[in-house]
Structure 1
Amino acid sequence: MAVQIRIVLLLLVASLIVGAQARHTKAKIRRDDRSLILVAQPFGFGNDGRMNLTVSNFQLWKTGTGPKTSKTSGYHRIGFFITTPAAEAQLELDLAEGRCPLDAQNDPSRQGLALTLFTFDAVEVNTDKKKGSTRKDFKLNELIENYQGGEFSLFFANCEPYSAIDFDVEAALFNVRGDRVDFLAVGDDMLPFVYFLSFLLFTVLGVLWTLLVVRAKADAHKIHYLMIVLVAFKSLTVLSQAFMYHTISVSGDAEGWNIAFYVFTGCRSLLFFVVIILLATGWSYMKPFISAREKKLLMVVIPLQAIANVAIIYLDEFTPAAESWFTWRDILHVVDIVCCCLVLFPIVWSIKQLRDASETDGKVVRTLVKLTLFRQFYIMVVVYIYFTRIIVYLLESTLPFQLIWLAAAASEAATLAFYVAAGVAFRPMPAGANPYFQLTEEEAIELTKAEQEENP
């Protein structure tokens, strides 16, 4: 059962990875007794895919008995291998049954599951941490017969029982395209173009929305200006993503653009949830205040989003080889889903309030118009969240690795469509033509009384 849970978590996290950010992977492993360690996420290699591994400060420890100093004993069952994402679950099962992934290529019944790069009995092992490192260079077309490219994950395996290991590893996965080294995986090489095109589209949308708000200034509300800021942060987010992936492609490192991306996406995420909640509660449209219940929701959702974004920044400094990497990925996924669910509550509350009002209020027609519009907005938000949180992840996990960029393109297209639809529904209009017209003085007094009764 424990092994099955690990497999499910592994597959879940793999499905949440938004493109393999191909960069130099560095990890420090200390007294780690795991049998299997994911060093580098699935990476799409082309016809001239290559890999460099540098290992230093290696030390094998017998659990509870101190360091093992022999240069040969046990080292043939410790090393690095690559495998396809589809074979990872089977390797976990093999490991649970006592079979070592490093032996897979020598077993006719298991060939194709894993390709051993090297074991430590075949290299100079550094027992003295000051003696330097061991470097290995690999060309996949020389390792794999009839190689035509493919997607592979890099793993470290320790099949020596009752042992733990220390080592430092630096891995560089890349493709050679003509006379240029490209550190972006096949399938991710279109991302700079996708995100830069998204930047242009969101910038045009922001300019058009700003002109619309300025021209209809007399009918504009505070929420319209807040939506301008939201679109601006979205544009800056995709622009920083475009530059981030471009610099990764050239040098293998984001060179600071990842920090800009995290700052902009953090601000955009927080503002997005604020705007959705304010629209859902009719703030500045139907009523001039936010109820205590809605304020409490804002106080929950915004800190959760802030924590999630800080955690993403912190997590990005580590590799999957870190022992707590999968745990943090699961936590971030749960926080994201919780925030998405919470943002639906104000819409449900508004719909319920309008339904109750339609049964008791004499202005039934006007109330039913509001109810219909809020139902449409609710469906729109649900479809957007479902598509970007589930459908996009399914695309990432099912598309061929050469077309993985289509998942990012679909996500940006869905976001653009959602922004346009929300803008059309909540655009500035004269009070007489606006279905979310301002409350009359009588209705405002009734709502104020209701709030006072709710919070005496």
Structure 2
Amino acid sequence: MHVRSPAMSMGTSLAAAVVSLLLLVRASNAEIRTTIIVSDSRPLILFEQFGFERGGKATLSIRRSAWNIRPGSKRTSVDPSLMGFVLISGNQFPRINNESAYAAADPGDNDNGSDADGYCVLTSEHALPVVRLSDVPPGGVTTTVTIDDPDEYAVLFSNCQDGVEATVDVRTEMYNVRGGVSDGPRDYLPVGLRPLPTIYTAVSAVYFAFLAAWACACVRHRATAERIHAVMGALLLFKALKMACAAEDSWYVQRTGTPHGWDVAFYVFGFLKGVLLFTVIVLIGTGWSFLKPYLQEREKNVLMIVIPLQVIENLLLVVIGETGPTGQDWIVWNQVFLLVDVICCCAVFFPIIWSIRSMREASKTDGKAALNLQKLTLFKRFYLVVVGYLYFTRIIASAFLALLSYKYQWGVNVAIEAASFAFYLFVFYNFKPVGKNPYLYIGDTEEDEAAEREMDDDGGF
């Protein structure tokens, strides 16, 4: 895009920045955070997003603020009154977006009533002002805003002067007050995420029960249990532990505003679960331990690609979760995360396709293989289920979140966990350690029938 004027640049970038950031941060927890912005010239910085009830409070404590002119800029002075924090509600965002678009289309008409370079969110009548840097004394200041209109609000830092770099040390604390009493207990979870501790606790209990049932099935049918069944059991264990840590994490955040270390355990078990999930999909897709006790070279290469990518993906998840949207490269980290996730999802499909293709080729000359292929065509169903599961949890759920009211964001978590449980149930039921599994077993009678068909075919020639 060609830049025609400073107002065009700031107005267009403002609209794009707000849209992308609000979509990415939609479901984040609002923990108490201390953020340091150093020499940042961005016109808009998103700090948090929170669903408030009536009487909720947003507290900003600015401990230090400074500014300077960016090297190479033609600006000669700085007006600190054109830099500060605002709250924007979900209802007012479309109006602000329209104002920004109008300012970009008509840069000569500045109705802000200020000396701002183009459109300025800080001076918009649709934004709720919190504090301007010109009002921050040397020792810092703490400002609390009480929410009268329930909605989802975004806390943003607005810099309306092109070429000015701001340095801010700020602590954000947003919460609702239980019972509607001003001095009542604080609830640090947004309205739409308040049921999460209960949801995650229930999901964790379900997976622990699932693990117990799986362990009993493996012990009862130990004669037919394979190594892959132990790997699948470990996957259930780490999934259950991850959800237990998620429940504790959200519970502590709800009451204290901080996770008290449970986020670390959540990331660790989430990492182990993610690696094992993709490993199990690859191993089942190759038929390892079911059809053959070894992996071919290309299948090993898939694992050597998927596992390191899962390590990278989980490290990116930690960076994204801990840095928040204030980081200058936060959107880039999100894009890299999505790219790595897409590569992992595509890579796990290849072993399944290879297994079906190799059996199809063998069936052309081997009657027994043809009968085996008849049983293994159910792997096509496994392939479709994997595609559906990954597509739903990665794409459909994100689109659903963007359309859902802020009050019911927990519904997306329920939908994802329900889809995950259905996927686990399908895989574990169809690949359970029992004799004469219809996915894998070929009975003696069927082998005899296949042999008779081969003899008939030979006699025909």
TM-score range (shorter-chain normalised) is 0.7 to 0.9
In the other structure, the counterpart of 2:380 is 375
In the other structure, the counterpart of 2:212 is 207
2:440 counterpart of 1:436: yes
Distance 2:392 2:72 in 1: 53
Give ranges in structure 2 of 5+ residues lacking alignment: 3-8, 108-117, 445-461
Higher relative contact order (CA 8 A, sep 6+): 1
- Partner SS state of residue 52, structure 1: strand
Shift in Å, 1:359: 2.4
Change (3 A) 1:154 1:359: same
Change (3 A) 1:413 1:91: farther
Distance 1:354 1:382 in 2: 21
In the other structure, the counterpart of 2:227 is 222
Change (3 A) 1:17 1:371: farther
Letter in 2 for 1:436: L
2:38 to 25, 30, 40: 30
Letter in 1 for 2:264: I
Shift in Å, 1:38: 0.8
Distance 1:133 1:327 in 2: 32
CA-to-partner distance for each residue in 1:205-232, whole Å, 9 max, x for gaps? 1111111111010011111111111101
Shift in Å, 1:316: 2.8
User: Does the 8 A contact of 2:375 with 2:438 survive in 1?
Assistant: no
2:57 to 29, 50, 54: 50
Distance 1:351 1:282 in 2: 10
In the other structure, the counterpart of 2:335 is 330
Give me the TM-score of the superposition, normalised by structure 1: 0.85
User: Does the 8 A contact of 1:91 with 1:101 survive in 2?
Assistant: no
2:368 counterpart of 1:360: no
Shift in Å, 1:403: 0.6
CA-to-partner distance for each residue in 1:6-25, whole Å, 9 max, x for gaps? 86676455444472211112
2:152 counterpart of 1:140: no
Shift in Å, 1:265: 0.4
Change (3 A) 1:285 1:21: same
1:311 to 308, 313, 316: 316
Letter in 2 for 1:32: D
Change (3 A) 1:230 1:439: farther
Letter in 1 for 2:31: R
1:117 to 130, 133, 148: 130
User: Does the 8 A contact of 1:16 with 1:393 survive in 2?
Assistant: no
2:240 counterpart of 1:235: yes
Shift in Å, 1:429: 2.2
Aligned runs of 1:140-219 on 2, under 5 Å?
140-141=147-148, 147=149, 149-178=150-179, 179-219=184-224
Distance 1:281 1:439 in 2: 22
Letter in 1 for 2:335: D
Shift in Å, 1:116: 2.2
1:103 to 98, 115, 123: 123
Once superposed, which parts of structure 1, at least 4 consecutive aligned residues long, lie more than 3 Å away? 1-18, 84-97, 432-435, 437-440
Change (3 A) 1:90 1:319: farther
Change (3 A) 1:330 1:95: farther
In the other structure, the counterpart of 1:61 is 68
User: Does the 8 A contact of 1:173 with 1:183 survive in 2?
Assistant: yes
Aligned runs of 1:385-424 on 2, under 5 Å?
385-424=390-429
- Partner SS state of residue 172, structure 1: strand
Change (3 A) 1:90 1:214: farther
Change (3 A) 1:215 1:346: same
In the other structure, the counterpart of 2:27 is 19
In the other structure, the counterpart of 1:446 is none
User: Does the 8 A contact of 2:62 with 2:140 survive in 1?
Assistant: yes
Identical residues among aligned pairs (%):
33
Shift in Å, 1:434: 4.3
Distance 1:177 1:217 in 2: 53
In the other structure, the counterpart of 1:108 is none
Letter in 2 for 1:78: M
User: Does the 8 A contact of 1:287 with 1:439 survive in 2?
Assistant: no
User: Does the 8 A contact of 2:84 with 2:157 survive in 1?
Assistant: yes
User: Does the 8 A contact of 1:26 with 1:319 survive in 2?
Assistant: no
Shift in Å, 1:285: 0.7
Shift in Å, 1:90: 4.5
CA-to-partner distance for each residue in 1:171-219, whole Å, 9 max, x for gaps? 1111111221000000110000110000111111111111111101001
Larger mean CA deviation between 166-175 and 348-357 belongs to 348-357
Aligned length: 416
Letter in 2 for 1:104: S
Distance 2:162 2:439 in 1: 70
Aligned runs of 1:236-385 on 2, under 5 Å?
236-363=241-368, 365-385=370-390
Distance 2:178 2:76 in 1: 43
1:76 to 69, 72, 81: 81
- Partner SS state of residue 187, structure 1: helix
Shift in Å, 1:95: 7.0
Shift in Å, 1:272: 0.6
Shift in Å, 1:162: 2.1
Give me the TM-score of the superposition, normalised by structure 2: 0.84
Distance 2:294 2:158 in 1: 59
Change (3 A) 1:245 1:35: same
Distance 1:189 1:328 in 2: 27
User: Does the 8 A contact of 1:13 with 1:329 survive in 2?
Assistant: no
Shift in Å, 1:354: 1.9
User: Does the 8 A contact of 1:308 with 1:335 survive in 2?
Assistant: yes
Give ranges in structure 1 of 5+ residues lacking alignment: 106-111, 127-131, 142-146, 441-456
Letter in 2 for 1:392: A
Distance 1:120 1:427 in 2: 63
Larger mean CA deviation between 56-65 and 196-205 belongs to 56-65
Shift in Å, 1:125: 4.1
Distance 1:69 1:256 in 2: 47
Change (3 A) 1:323 1:352: same
User: Does the 8 A contact of 2:309 with 2:340 survive in 1?
Assistant: yes
